[in-house]
């Protein structure tokens, strides 16, 4: 049984979350709190397995409380925030501070209630490894000199991630050289949040990182992140690649889905692709990574020790979908070693 404390200044949201979460046999709401001061006392007294936390609250904002919580009394936290552009940057900061996931607040004006996603986030948080205190990542890139052949060959890097993925993707991308092959990424994240996530990565990476638009070309030096609430697929147009951003039903309960992207990469890029499956709960992308490997792509899964949640990579490994299983910090260098060794 996962014991949950709900922290939100809205009585309506506290009631909705408590009622809806209580419908699940493996979740028990053991208490609610109107602000961080009440939450602090209840965390110490009730010892919840997971805390759901609002960002905007009286007396102390959610970010300040999260920072103190991670320092003095670490507990898995899922941010439940209004789905609005102004909140997305703050929610991403919460992930940097140690929150496990971000979910759109049920009943917000921007979104229908998404209790099922919150339930999955709570389950993931309950089994997640709490991140260590945030350490600034190096701004000094690994010196990877790419010969002209790689710069001009039509290579594609495809990356998928879920819980814990925002930090993992940053670790992988931050040392990509400006001439890196075109990169396509799915990170499970709500609408609006993906745009802010891409903007934050763009500020710290050498390559350009942005949210994908329908019809965008996949070109060297650019990483395209699938928009929240939409699927992204890779297409081939003559000798070039582009992405299509489209609607459709969730796959593995996710939209965007890693599976949808990886299957399209397998079909349209084949041996010209490298697939990377990072931390996350569930099985999204596992069969897609296998399809990529069977099509001739080189495939990498993140290892258990460096994952926040060893779900998606584990399922891929069980299928024999990974050519290599690597710690997060070794993945970028291995990508470029493979590119250098397999020029075509």
Given the residues 82, 162, 295, 306, the one annotated as active site: 162
Over residues 267-295, mean pLDDT? 97
Q: How confident is the model at residue 154 (pLDDT cuts 50, 70, 90)?
A: confident
Given the residues 284, 295, 306, 323, the one annotated as active site: 284
The number of angstroms, rounded, from the C-alpha of 147 to the middle of its chain's C-alpha atoms is 31
Question: Domain 2-127 class?
Answer: alpha beta
Q: What is the pLDDT of residue 103?
A: 87
Q: What is the pLDDT of residue 344?
A: 52
Q: Is the pLDDT of residue 303 over 80?
A: yes
Instruction: Tell me the three-class secondary structure of 55-122, residue by residue.
Output: CCCCCCCHHHHHHHHHHHCCCCEEEEECCCHHHHHHHHHHHHHCCCEEEECCCCCCCCCCHHHHHHHH
**C-alpha span between 67 and 246 (Å, rounded):** 37
Over residues 153-178, mean pLDDT? 94
Q: Is the pLDDT of residue 137 over 60?
A: no
What whole-number percentage of the chain has pLDDT above 70? Answer: 89
Per-residue pLDDT tens for 62-104? 899 999 999 999 999 999 987 555 667 888 899 999 999 988 8
Per-residue pLDDT tens for 220-236? 999 999 999 999 999 99
Q: What is the pLDDT of residue 308?
A: 95
Q: What is the pLDDT of residue 138?
A: 41
Higher-confidence position of 267 and 110: 267
Question: Domain 148-341 class?
Answer: alpha beta
Q: Which two tokens stand for residue 36?
A: 């961080």
Q: Which two tokens stand for residue 183?
A: 């990169």
Is 284 designated active site?
yes
Q: What is the pLDDT of residue 139?
A: 39
Is 264 designated active site?
no
Given the residues 35, 88, 111, 188, the one annotated as active site: 188
Q: What is the pLDDT of residue 213?
A: 98
Provide the sign of the torsion angle of the four alpha carbons 82, 83, 84, 86, taken in this order. Answer: positive
Q: Do domains 2-127 and 148-341 have the same CATH topology?
A: yes
For residue 150, the surrounding DSSP H or E stretch is helix 148-152
Q: How confident is the model at residue 342 (pLDDT cuts 50, 70, 90)?
A: confident
Q: Is the pLDDT of residue 112 over 60?
A: no
Q: What is the pLDDT of residue 52?
A: 96
- What are the residue boundaries of the structural domains of the chain, listed by start? 2-127, 148-341
What whole-number percentage of the chain has pLDDT above 90? Answer: 76
Q: What is the pLDDT of residue 192?
A: 80
Q: What is the pLDDT of residue 185?
A: 98
Q: What is the pLDDT of residue 82?
A: 75
Among 81-90, 270-279, 321-330, the least confident range: 81-90
Higher-confidence position of 60 and 158: 158
């Amino acid at each position: 049984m996962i014991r949950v404390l709900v922290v939100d200044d809205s009585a309506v949201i506290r009631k909705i979350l408590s009622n809806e979460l209580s419908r699940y046999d493996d979740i028990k709401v053991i208490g609610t709190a109107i602000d961080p001061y009440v939450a602090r006392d209840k965390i110490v007294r009730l010892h919840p397995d997971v805390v759901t936390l609002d960002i905007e609250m009286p007396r102390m904002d959610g970010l300040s409380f999260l920072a103190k919580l991670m320092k003095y009394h670490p507990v898995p936290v899922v941010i439940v925030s209004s789905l609005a552009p102004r909140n997305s940057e703050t929610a991403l900061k919460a992930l940097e501070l140690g929150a496990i996931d971000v979910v759109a607040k049920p009943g917000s004006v921007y979104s229908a209630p998404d209790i099922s996603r919150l339930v999955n986030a709570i389950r993931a948080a309950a089994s997640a490894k709490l991140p260590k205190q945030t350490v600034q990542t190096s701004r000094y890139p690994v010196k990877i000199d790419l010969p002209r052949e790689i710069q001009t060959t039509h290579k594609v890097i495809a990356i998928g991630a879920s819980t814990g993925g925002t930090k993992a993707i940053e670790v992988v991308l931050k040392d990509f050289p400006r001439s890196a092959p075109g990169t396509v990424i799915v990170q499970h994240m709500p609408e609006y949040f993906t745009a802010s996530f891409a903007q934050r990565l763009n500020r710290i990476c050498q390559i350009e990182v942005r949210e994908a638009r329908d019809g965008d070309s996949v070109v060297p030096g650019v990483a395209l992140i699938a928009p929240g609430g939409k699927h992204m697929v890779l297409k081939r147009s003559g000798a070039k690649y582009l992405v299509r951003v489209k609607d459709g039903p969730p796959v593995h309960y996710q939209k965007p889905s890693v599976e949808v992207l990886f299957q399209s990469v397998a079909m349209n890029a084949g041996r010209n692709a490298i697939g990377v499956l990072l931390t996350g709960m569930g099985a999204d992308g596992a069969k897609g990574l296998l399809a990529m490997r069977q099509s001739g792509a080189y495939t990498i899964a993140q290892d258990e020790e460096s994952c926040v949640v060893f779900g998606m990579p584990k399922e891929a490994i069980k299928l024999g979908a990974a050519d290599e299983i690597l710690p997060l910090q070794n993945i970028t260098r291995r990508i470029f070693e493979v590119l250098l060794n397999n020029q075509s």
